[in-house]
Amino acid sequence: MKIKPSISGNSWIYVDNFLLNALDEDIGNGDVTTSALISPKHVSDTALISKGEFIIAGLTYAERIFHLVDKGLKFKALKKEGDRVRNGSIIARIKGNTASLLLAERTALNLLQRISGIATITNQYVVAVKGLGTKIADTRKTAPGLRYFDKYAVRTGGGSNHRYGLFDGILIKDNHISAVGSIGKAVKLVRSNNHHLLKIEVETRNLSDVRGALNAGADVIMLDNMTLEKIKKSVDLIKSRKNSVIIEVSGNMNLGNVRKIAETGVDMISVGAITHSAAAADISMMFD
Amino acid sequence: MKIKPSISGNSWIYVDNFLLNALDEDIGNGDVTTSALISPKHVSDTALISKGEFIIAGLTYAERIFHLVDKGLKFKALKKEGDRVRNGSIIARIKGNTASLLLAERTALNLLQRISGIATITNQYVVAVKGLGTKIADTRKTAPGLRYFDKYAVRTGGGSNHRYGLFDGILIKDNHISAVGSIGKAVKLVRSNNHHLLKIEVETRNLSDVRGALNAGADVIMLDNMTLEKIKKSVDLIKSRKNSVIIEVSGNMNLGNVRKIAETGVDMISVGAITHSAAAADISMMFD
Amino acid sequence: MKIKPSISGNSWIYVDNFLLNALDEDIGNGDVTTSALISPKHVSDTALISKGEFIIAGLTYAERIFHLVDKGLKFKALKKEGDRVRNGSIIARIKGNTASLLLAERTALNLLQRISGIATITNQYVVAVKGLGTKIADTRKTAPGLRYFDKYAVRTGGGSNHRYGLFDGILIKDNHISAVGSIGKAVKLVRSNNHHLLKIEVETRNLSDVRGALNAGADVIMLDNMTLEKIKKSVDLIKSRKNSVIIEVSGNMNLGNVRKIAETGVDMISVGAITHSAAAADISMMFD
Amino acid sequence: MKIKPSISGNSWIYVDNFLLNALDEDIGNGDVTTSALISPKHVSDTALISKGEFIIAGLTYAERIFHLVDKGLKFKALKKEGDRVRNGSIIARIKGNTASLLLAERTALNLLQRISGIATITNQYVVAVKGLGTKIADTRKTAPGLRYFDKYAVRTGGGSNHRYGLFDGILIKDNHISAVGSIGKAVKLVRSNNHHLLKIEVETRNLSDVRGALNAGADVIMLDNMTLEKIKKSVDLIKSRKNSVIIEVSGNMNLGNVRKIAETGVDMISVGAITHSAAAADISMMFD
Amino acid sequence: MKIKPSISGNSWIYVDNFLLNALDEDIGNGDVTTSALISPKHVSDTALISKGEFIIAGLTYAERIFHLVDKGLKFKALKKEGDRVRNGSIIARIKGNTASLLLAERTALNLLQRISGIATITNQYVVAVKGLGTKIADTRKTAPGLRYFDKYAVRTGGGSNHRYGLFDGILIKDNHISAVGSIGKAVKLVRSNNHHLLKIEVETRNLSDVRGALNAGADVIMLDNMTLEKIKKSVDLIKSRKNSVIIEVSGNMNLGNVRKIAETGVDMISVGAITHSAAAADISMMFD
Amino acid sequence: MKIKPSISGNSWIYVDNFLLNALDEDIGNGDVTTSALISPKHVSDTALISKGEFIIAGLTYAERIFHLVDKGLKFKALKKEGDRVRNGSIIARIKGNTASLLLAERTALNLLQRISGIATITNQYVVAVKGLGTKIADTRKTAPGLRYFDKYAVRTGGGSNHRYGLFDGILIKDNHISAVGSIGKAVKLVRSNNHHLLKIEVETRNLSDVRGALNAGADVIMLDNMTLEKIKKSVDLIKSRKNSVIIEVSGNMNLGNVRKIAETGVDMISVGAITHSAAAADISMMFD
């Protein structure tokens, strides 16, 4: 069941299944320590505290975890989604049954720290290209099973999402082209075999590919693993021909080179590292 | 269903459910590009290539992903689980139906890169304490839903696993102690309310806690967030009293300080970063 | 999980699973149009309007779909289940979050239109045999996965249900008889191998079969694909022998011939077309 | 789990779940008649026979149903997917365990008859517009839970698929426009909030809407419920402005008017009735 | 998913789900002892040995458990389902991977011992009424979740099954009658609201009830908790009126009184204790 | 999903899944009798009545079953969990919708009778060793799928739980020892391959085994199937060497010999029969 909560809808089914499974791997048959020591009537006041500076993201999901374990827990966020928090800030207060708080603590922190970590690194890229109109986008290089949350984290950090998966966007790569014979043939075939609401992106490795993609009528052209110079020439070529084509750059991006690439005028830079190699933000839960 | 494959058993149920779900988030209703372009009879030879040096881990799971998509794919590993691979090495060769290869590619790489990344950083800690007899252990700070694979990665990198979750090991923390009144009371209560095959670990913050844990008959004592000096004093105290107690250190560990801490003679150092902040190993799949 | 709501019980588990799956195939990762355009606070008043005249059926399920998407939506039915509605009638009013209304709209209409369509055609058959005491029954020829709803639609249209599936009613067909050797043997065997609360129906193709079924002590005799004349003779034969035997007619039924067949005095006429070939009733949802 | 078989991949997970559920609603705790009467060693030769002329479609799924019940059954198709079959043709032969054949029979026929029915009516529309270059497309008006199969049937009958659901195509309707204020604003907003591989379709009701959509840069314009005259004027307007815009017509389509509408030069005509009101093709399974 | 293996069909879906869940509760994250001690290449020969005399039943399910854990295990039954085995008999030999054998052992024995225990006590009742033509039937008093296996055990011990659950047989109890007003009304109502293939059983407590059930045309009459004398009178009354009515006795049955009750000429005696209070048969698995 | 309710937490997921499955096997497509006879508005007052004297256990789960069927039912327990009830006592009163009460009745009684039966027999063992400080423990010999409830019943009857399954406790048996070569080697290996919070139990059959286990540093020693005399000698040997070793006795336990064995000073006696052969407590539900 995949129905996911969105800003507008209210269904939590997909997210709940994920969170319950995550709780299950931690809790299994129960907390053998807590169930022996903490009275079922014992209550606590706790606070989520930042250790270090970062973008906080994922609070709604953390709150949901506490409520899945115990509907009676009170969760009050003191920071808004996407806020930059300083070291030692109180992010949220959670009150209620102590045993329930301990059952939910680790799973909630693990998710919150991951989402915040991805939002934080994404935001560093977004800041690096500020003012240039270039979008920072994610890739399909997410942790298995976590794509929904990883992509949410990217948006919250100010980045853009690329297609969700293989099913909701057309991206013609070199393997496709060589199997079919030419970019032109590939674009034509893919158009006639898909519904009319999908654009066509073509991955290119050199100027000749770019020319082929332009001639084939590609809607989006990805410049893959090109040098800065080649990127410049490609951008010039594309803009000289058809201004409405979207230009995406991909490959070997880092915080040192991303602004230079953005300055070439490309529309979008996609970065795998923001989802596959983000360090967790450091957050702890303090009991008063 | 949680039955997991072990060295000795053969059941893949838990792992398959996880992998299918991961494939599903990428594939959804199908690969709209490939299904339009690649003939169902087209076959390819591919190779998994390392980009950079790292410990390779997770090959069995990568192979499983290819076979879940298409039983006819031939997967041949050229490296063994836990091998250190150099930049540009061929890790495995996979042959068969091109469309199937493209369906499985991203999910297999995402998992392989994560597991190898965790094994690699774990191994750096293991190497750092070499010769001292101290174990490097993981924590419960794993990515939600990925604990099974994250803990496998730690073992493959030469680390040790701590308890899997709240259900298979007793760890008395300060919240437990303050709820009950004293370490002595907590140890007694937890023993009488659990089956007789579980040891009891007590988290301590200072020498007074350590003394309390020793008096209470704790089987394992965790020195949490202590300075090097306090760790030394704690170790001396414990060893002067009862040699069979296992000593674990936790908190603020990094590759710079881990050897010094190991030299105090502690049995085990647990490190959250090896699972929550490991960078992915870089691996790509090349089509011939 | 199959527990289904009935008039008396309150469990929605089976139905909810079905409806969530139906919502999922339409919504997947979310409504990419609405989530970009409609503010999460935007609310609307809508009405379900009939286009054409038909029997309305399935309102409880339509309401449930709206509530599964958003518990806050207000659904007010203006027609009762089984009512005949005229062109342009307001069937129900639904108010609340606009985005939620748009998420649920298509799935709710698809189900409502199907159930109403089946109820309407069923009712035409029921009207055609009015006053003769013959029941119109469904068959197992339902859309795969939709039997629960298709059979509900038949009841709401005034028809009767036949057995739900292979598990809750015994129906001996010619393949069974030829495998065993004779109707007599088949009836005997099937009785001794089943619990004592199931009646035995035998499918017959000619008078000799009917005689065999009577001799074997069948509780119900189905006259399958017989001409009107043969049906008459079979009815005479059965009534001359054992009045308590139930007589069912099946095969090649249409609105033109059904009354003539009912006039022979049979108890029940089963019609596959009412579930496998019903045209959808036309209903649309208007936003004020 | 949604992974679906495509021409190129081999995963049956989604389809198998659907088919097993469909089998389950028919079989439940078992076939009380057959298990009492047919020896487990009894085998039969059967044939699927057409009654009437139609397009046969869904044979792969019918075969799968037989194999899910019993891997030992031999299924041999004598017709190809999409073939037009005449009354009395042998469509396939299935041999093997008699009890298994009887368990699978009804579910396989129910699915095959539905898919063939949809393919047949779709094909009538396709034939009606032959030579004009206009595509016949489906809608989201499919039976709940059956979208995957209903859309497959449309393709097999020669039609085109529209978007699968709300998640993989942008379609701005009047409710969206009125909530935002103008077509121009809606197109801009929807573009900035979605990934760059989705085109934007705008639903229009009159020439003023069409003009608005053109000015906003819509990629696709749907002419909804317009008269033939208005359609003509809209087409003229669109083609005078931007030739690359795709034109779709929707609403009140039937086999009598579809050619006239296609002659206006529109690219695509979408028809709800081909999925929500198709009559089942008549197929029976004969035991030798 | 409920599809269950029958003599004739081949689907194991329902049973496999049950068995995997049972394995899961025992194995969880793995066998911590065996995985540390037994080499993955170690193989063993084992035998299932009876301790005490009993009816052996459930071998197919035990075999399935071993195969679910490891397809490579060889299971060879030396006894047939339903055989009476003596103390010390070899019931089956199982060879293969030692770790796999240890993973499956306890779950297989637990199921085999329960099924055999139920078959054994059932058989004692069957033997007790030998020669009288009275059937021994089970009830719905099975262990939660185990009804499929409990009812199988009863059949294997020579008993008959009553209805499976509330859905496949009509049984009117006193609560039903008092809610409706009279037995006559209840029988009439229940007949008109159910499909025509279900018989109607009425529970009676005294001769007046029996008379009412006869007058109402009940197909089956249950004599509930009556004295031997009342049973005799009821049987006389029923047989004097309508010979084809099936007579069931229920309540307070034991091995001491069952034959006397059978001698009254009743058709069926149902016994709750054979499923809710059967002692397990004692079986152990010996490693050579 | 395994998350289970504990004293302190509030999640019912695991238990609900189990209970719904149990309800499903009884209810299936619905109660064909009740839905025809009982008005949806009909309400009843009922009472659970004991027939015989026993320990009542499982009331929370019984209540949950009624609420899963219908949240509106009022369940009021008049006895506390673990109370000894006399014949004819009112255990609980349940009021509300009659049809809902009838849907839940049998499943609730089946579970309540099983749990109470196990608690009762466990308590007989506990009483038999009263004053000696010996614990009565369960084993893994539970009914497949019911371990969670069977172990709960044992605790409620005053017994102790042994390990839950293979995953949360180490128990070295003779097969393990013979595969490795010696008890000493096995203990060493198992310690180095598991996390540091698990104790090690060794199964012994004679004094030589006991000596080996002591030398190897086993934390717990199980005396398996030994005579009373051997048990005495083993206890003397163990206590002369290391007082902290826990001693468990297993095998051939009954209410006649259990006190004698407890008098030897062992810590724990485990009894398979309390879970695999407990007779159900007799409880009925009376409608006023």
Neighbouring CB atoms inside 10 A of E262's CB total 23
Residues of D with CB under 8 A from a CB of E: 20-21, 23-24, 27-31, 34-35, 38-40, 68-72, 97-100, 103
The neighbouring-strand residues paired with A204 are: A223
Check if E80 is active-site.
no
Question: Exactly one of D63, D138, D150, D203 is catalytic; which is it?
Answer: D203
C12 φ/ψ sector (left φ>0, alpha ψ -120 to 50, else beta): alpha
**Predicted confidence (pLDDT) per residue in E217-243, tens digit:** 999 999 999 999 999 999 999 999 977
- pLDDT at site B1: 44
Among the partner residues C195, C196, C220, nearest to E196 by beta-carbon distance = C220
For residue E48, is pLDDT > 80? Answer: yes
State the smallest CA–CA distance between residue E22 and chain A in angstroms: 15
Instruction: Please report, in tens digits, the pLDDT of each residue of chain F (288 residues total).
Output: 455 655 445 567 788 889 999 999 999 888 999 989 998 889 999 999 999 999 999 999 999 999 999 989 999 999 999 999 999 999 999 999 999 999 999 999 999 999 999 999 999 999 999 999 999 999 999 999 999 999 999 999 999 999 999 999 999 999 999 999 999 999 999 999 999 999 999 999 999 999 999 999 999 999 999 999 999 999 999 999 977 899 999 998 999 999 999 999 999 999 999 999 999 999 999 998
Confidence label for E9 from pLDDT (cuts 50, 70 and 90):
low
Spatial separation of the C-alpha atoms in residues D176 and E4, rounded to whole Å: 49
Instruction: Tell me the average pLDDT of chain C.
Output: 94
Across the range C244-270, mean pLDDT stands at 96
Contacts of D168 in chain B (CB under 8 A): 29
pLDDT for position C16: 86
HSE-CB for C240 with a 13 A CA cutoff: 8
- DSSP letters along E236-272, please? HHHHHH-TT-EEEEESS--TTTHHHHHTTT-SEEE-T
Q: What is the pLDDT of residues D216-251, one digit of tens each?
A: 999 999 999 999 999 999 999 999 997 789 999 999
- E151 to each of A113, E262, F141, F277, how far by Cα in Å? 51, 22, 21, 18
Contacts of E8 in chain D (CB under 8 A): 31, 34-35, 38-40, 97-100, 103
Q: Is E195 in Cβ contact with C196 (below 8 Å)?
A: no
Q: Does B8 have pLDDT greater than 50? A: no
Tokens of E93: 């030999």
Tokens encoding D253? 């389509």
Q: What is the pLDDT of residue C9?
A: 54
Rounded to whole angstroms, the Cα distance separating F151 from F136 reads 12
Say if the Cβ atoms of B30 and D6 lie within 8 Å.
Answer: yes
Residue A238 three-state SS: helix
> Measured between beta carbons, which residues in chain B are less than 8 angstroms from residue F267?
196
Residues of F within 8 A of E273 (CB-CB) are: 279-280
ipTM for the whole complex: 0.95
Instruction: Name every chain C residue with its beta carbon within 8 A of the beta carbon of F23.
Output: 3, 11
Q: How many CB atoms lie within 10 A of CB A282?
A: 19
Cα separation values, E201 from C170, E162, E208, Å: 17, 11, 16
| Lowest-pLDDT choice from A218-232, C245-259, D27-41, D73-87 | D27-41
What residue of E is the nearest CA neighbor of D18? E1
* A and F: number of Cβ contacts within 8 A: 55
Closest-CA residue of F relative to C15 is F29
- Residue D26: the pLDDT is 93
The pLDDT tens digits for B52-100 are 999 999 999 999 999 999 989 999 999 999 999 999 999 999 999 999 9
Average pLDDT across chain D, whole number: 94
DSSP string over C166-197: TTS-EEE-HHHHHHHS-HHHHHHHHHHTS-TT
Mean pLDDT of D80-98: 97
Say if the Cβ atoms of A172 and B98 lie within 8 Å: no
Contact C8 F72 (CB under 8 A): no
Rounded average pLDDT over E36-65: 95
CA distance B21 to chain D (A): 6
Beta A170-172 vs A200-204: how paired, if at all?
parallel
CA angle, corner B244, sides to B261 and B195, nearest 5? Answer: 110
Render the burial of A215-240: b for 16+ CB within 10 Å, e for the rest: ebbbbbbbbbebeeebbbbbbeebee
Residue E12's pLDDT is what? 74
CA dihedral A43, A48, A49, A54 (to 10 degrees): 180
| B169 interaction partners in chain F (CB closer than 8 Å) | 195, 197-198
| DSSP for D44-79, written as a single string | EEEEEEESS-EE---HHHHHHHHHHH-TT-EEEESS
Tell me how far apart the terminal alpha carbons of chain B are, to the nearest angstrom: 39
Tens digit of pLDDT for each residue in A127-160? Answer: 999 999 999 999 999 999 999 999 999 999 999 9
Report pLDDT digits (tens) over E59-110: 999 999 999 999 899 999 999 999 999 999 999 999 999 999 999 999 999 9
Burial of C206 (0-12, 13-18, 19+ CB in 10 A): middle
User: Searching chain C, which residue's CA lies closest to the CA of residue A164?
Assistant: C29
User: Which two three-digit tokens encode residue C250?
Assistant: 């099946």
Q: Which residues fall within 8 angstroms of residue C222, CB to CB, at 6 or more apart?
A: C171, C201, C202, C203, C204, C248, C249, C250
Whole-angstrom Cα distance, residue C54 to residue C156? 12
CA distance B98 to B110: 19
Place of tokens 């003394």: B211
Task: Please give the residue that has the higher pLDDT: either E278 or B16.
Answer: E278
Nearest to D6 by CA among C19, B39, F70: B39
Residue D10: which of B21, B28, B70 has the nearest Cβ? Answer: B70
Q: Which of D114, D5, D104 is nearest to D58 (CA)?
A: D114
pLDDT for B157: 97
Identify the contact set of chain B against chain C, taking CB-CB distances under 8 A: 28-29
In this prediction, residue F8 carries a pLDDT of: 44
| Range with lowest mean pLDDT among A2-6, B194-198, B282-286 | A2-6
User: Which amino acid belongs to residue A41?
Assistant: K
Q: Which of C286, C1, C277, C281 lies closest to C139, judged by CA?
A: C277
**Is B105 part of the annotated catalytic residue set?**
no
Higher pLDDT, C17 or E110: E110
- From A5, which residue of chain C is nearest by alpha-carbon distance? C30
For position F3, what pLDDT does the model report? 58
In this complex, the residue of D170, D171, D196 whose CB is nearest that of residue A268 is: D196
- Burial degree of C58 (CB within 10 A; 0-12, 13-18, 19+): buried
Give every CB contact of residue F178 below 8 A, 6+ residues apart in sequence: none
Looking up tokens 């209560």 gives: B189
pLDDT of residue C2: 56
* Residue B133 pLDDT > 70: yes
Segment D158-173, tens digit of pLDDT:
999 999 999 999 999 9
Tell me if residue E203 is catalytic: yes
Q: Quick one: three-class SS letters along chain F? A: CCCCCCCCCCCCHHHHHHHHHHHHHHHCCCCCCHHHHCCCCCEEEEEEEECCCEECCCHHHHHHHHHHHCCCCEEEECCCCCCEECCCCEEEEEEEEHHHHHHHHHHHHHHHHHHHHHHHHHHHHHHHCCCCCCEEECCCCCCCCCHHHHHHHHHHCCCECCCCCCCCCEEECHHHHHHHCCHHHHHHHHHHCCCCCECEEEEECCHHHHHHHHHHCCCEEEEECCCHHHHHHHHHHHHHHCCCCEEEEECCCCCCCHHHHHCCCCCEEECCHHHHCCCCCCEEEEEC
Residue C267: phi and psi, rounded to 5, are -80, -30
Which residues have CB under 8 Å from E21's CB, separation 6+? B1, F145
| CA F63, chain centre distance (Å) | 19
β-strand partners of E16: none
Looking at residue E40, what DSSP letter applies?
T
Can B84 be counted among the known catalytic residues? no
Cβ-Cβ contacts under 8 Å, D28 against chain F: 28-29
Q: CA of A193, closest CA in chain D: separation in Å?
A: 8
pLDDT over 70 percentage in chain E? 96
Chain F interface, Cβ < 8 Å to A: 1-4, 6-11, 13, 148, 164, 168
* Contact of A174 with A160, CB cutoff 8 Å: no
| Residues of F that are catalytic | 106, 141, 173, 203, 224
Q: Which of D63, D105, D150, D224 is catalytic?
A: D224
Residues paired with D50 in a beta bridge: D283
> Which two structure tokens, joined as six digits, stand for A166?
């293989």
Chain B residue with CA closest to A151: the answer is: B25
Task: Say what the alpha-carbon torsion angle B149, B150, B153, B155 is, to the nearest 10 degrees.
Answer: -100
Tens digits of residue pLDDT in A221-239: 999 999 999 999 999 999 9
Please list the residues that pair with E201 across neighbouring strands. E171, E220
- pLDDT at position A264, please? 97
Catalytic entry in C106, C140, C211, C232:
C106
From the CA of D162, how many Å to the nearest CA of chain B?
A: 13
F37 → closest Cβ in E144, E180, E279: E180
* % of residues, chain E, pLDDT over 90: 87
With bands split at pLDDT 50, 70 and 90, how would you rate the model's confidence at C189?
very high
In the numeric block, which tokens belong to residue E99? 């770790």
Q: Do C80 and C60 form a contact (C-beta atoms < 8 A)?
A: no
- Please name which of C54, C63, C114 lies closest in space to residue C82, comparing C-alpha atoms: C54
What 3-state class would DSSP assign to A20? helix
Question: Across residues B194-223, what is the average pLDDT?
Answer: 96
**CB contacts < 8 Å between B and E, how many?**
55
**D34 contact residues in E (CB cutoff 8 A):** 8
